[in-house]
Chain A
Amino acid sequence: MNVSKSILGPALFVCMLVNLYLIFMFAPTESSMGQIQRIFYFHVPTAWVSGLSLFVLFISSILYLWKKQRKYDIVAHAAGEIGVLFMTMFLVTGPIWARPVWNIWWDWSPRLTSSLVLWFIFVAYLMLRNFVENEEKGARLAAVFAIVGFVDVPIVYMSIRLWADIHPRPVIGGGESSGLHPDMKIAFYFSVFTFTLLFLYLLIQRVRLQKTTVAISEMKKQIAY
């Protein structure tokens, strides 16, 4: 019984279409930024999904070290990959928005710098996994790194904030969520919901794929030896 393929997949497809409609047709155009503001409906949900994957990665890494069961490692690996994917999308959509609005691609503000650091931690996690030959050992070491990395994120954010405070910079653009039109809110929350479904779908599919890979390699071992 494949719930993800039979229910989640079609539901996600419908939601994606509705989401596109809400973002491009339903939500009003922002008065000062114009059309470019619509990227915000993609940008913020990608950040949300990255955070979600980091959390799943952290929890499943702890469970793996504790219970030593393969399934937790498979979930952690999948969450790590999804994290890199969405963190990259987050870092790409940000500058696309910032260029016309702030007139610069990149700004070393606390939020941007911390996001970049988080991206590096995710990438280092995946590299570590791929560079250890023994799979069980790789899973164990990567879990240790994921836990240390997760604990580090708030400290990184705090220290970068403090660092940015002593280098004052002109305030450009207000808070993103300040004074959203009700229709914008609908589009925004629906987009977050759709991206969460997408996250679940990707996670489940990736875990299934990995389980199949493991099953095949077990079979190969049985036949070959």
Chain B
Amino acid sequence: MIAKVGVLLWKDILSELRTKELIFSMLVFSLMVAVIFNFSFPPGSEFIKDASPGILWMTFIFAGLLGMNRSFVYEVDTGCLQGLMLAPMDRSVIYISKLLVNFIFIGTVELIVTPLFAIFFDFSIIDSLGPFLLMLFLSTLGFSVIGTLFSAIAVNTKTREVMLPILHFPVVIPIIICAVQATSAIFQGREWSEIWNWLKILIAFDIIFLILAILMFEYVIEE
């Protein structure tokens, strides 16, 4: 099974490496969001420091949605999904490989964007890199778990790109809350126990929905 996931994963990474469409659009989009957010505060305002965890996460979420929107569109439009479903393997292999692709793409963008945001919004994460990366891992995983399942749903609707956020946002609210709070606790140099409180919810969310999504995916792509 791991080998099968690997093959599918490599297929997506290879096609992305050839075009570099997604990662580049997500990156440019993220930087533009930073500029736009900057205008929502009065010039020279101190608010922007308190708001930086929120801005960071809004950027990741919008950029992530941009990427995840595409994850099944190409498969469906070219008939590749049909081929994958005919292949002798469990349906969950398709889900897990897509989940990993989304996770890797969003994670890459996050790792590039965070240092740039640290410059733009003047925060430092070097002192608490470990907790920050752990938090980034857990929230990006949960975000992609739901996003991958829902993008397979949204691709069947008439309004594909609009439908994904409408389905996705209300369900990932726990992730948004925990990620933003944990990030601001990290930025303010709070104690580990306080950060851990948020990470616990993220871990619970990830486990519950990973299992549920694998179970449900079979019903989503069934023809």
Binding site for B on A (CB under 8 A): 65, 117, 120-121, 123-124, 127-128, 131-134, 137, 140-141, 143-145, 147-149, 151-152, 155-156, 158-160, 162-163, 166
How many angstroms between the C-alpha atoms of A120 and B166 in the bound complex? Answer: 8
Report B34 CB to chain A, min CB distance, Å.
Answer: 24
Report A-chain residues with C-beta under 8 Å of the C-beta of B208.
151, 155
- Taking the complex as formed, is B158 at the interface, i.e. its CB lies under 8 A from any CB of chain A? yes
- CB contacts under 8 Å to A, within B188-210, are 197-198, 201, 204-205, 208-209
Are A124 and B170 in contact, with the CB atoms below 8 A?
A: yes
Are A128 and B163 in contact, with the CB atoms below 8 A?
A: yes
Q: Contacts A144-B153, A160-B177, A162-B197 given: A121-B170 contact, CB under 8 Å?
A: yes
- CB contacts under 8 Å to A, within B151-187, are 153, 156-159, 163, 166-167, 169-171, 173-174, 177-178, 181
- Taking the complex as formed, is B149 at the interface, i.e. its CB lies under 8 A from any CB of chain A? yes
Q: For chain B, which range describes its interface: under 10, 10 to 19, 20 to 34, or 35 or more residues?
A: 20 to 34
- Taking the complex as formed, is B14 at the interface, i.e. its CB lies under 8 A from any CB of chain A? no
Q: Contacts A159-B201, A163-B177 given: A141-B171 contact, CB under 8 Å?
A: no
Are B205 and A155 in contact, with the CB atoms below 8 A?
A: yes
How many angstroms between the C-alpha atoms of A190 and B212 in the bound complex? Answer: 39
- Taking the complex as formed, is B222 at the interface, i.e. its CB lies under 8 A from any CB of chain A? yes
Q: Contacts A128-B153, A145-B153, A155-B208 given: A140-B219 contact, CB under 8 Å?
A: yes
How many angstroms between the C-alpha atoms of A49 and B167 in the bound complex? Answer: 23
- Taking the complex as formed, is B220 at the interface, i.e. its CB lies under 8 A from any CB of chain A? yes
Q: Contacts A65-B219, A117-B170, A124-B170 given: A155-B201 contact, CB under 8 Å?
A: yes
Of the listed residues A121, A144, A145, A163, the one surrounded by the most CB atoms of chain B closer than 10 A to its CB is A144
Are A143 and B219 in contact, with the CB atoms below 8 A?
A: yes
- Taking the complex as formed, is B216 at the interface, i.e. its CB lies under 8 A from any CB of chain A? yes
Q: Contacts A141-B220, A151-B208, A151-B212 given: A162-B201 contact, CB under 8 Å?
A: yes
Report B-chain residues with C-beta under 8 Å of the C-beta of A162.
177, 197-198, 201
Cβ contact of A148, chosen from B169, B216, B222, cutoff 8 A = B216
Report A-chain residues with C-beta under 8 Å of the C-beta of B220.
140-141, 144
How many angstroms between the C-alpha atoms of A163 and B173 in the bound complex? Answer: 11
Report B-chain residues with C-beta under 8 Å of the C-beta of A141.
153, 156, 220
Report B-chain residues with C-beta under 8 Å of the C-beta of A137.
156
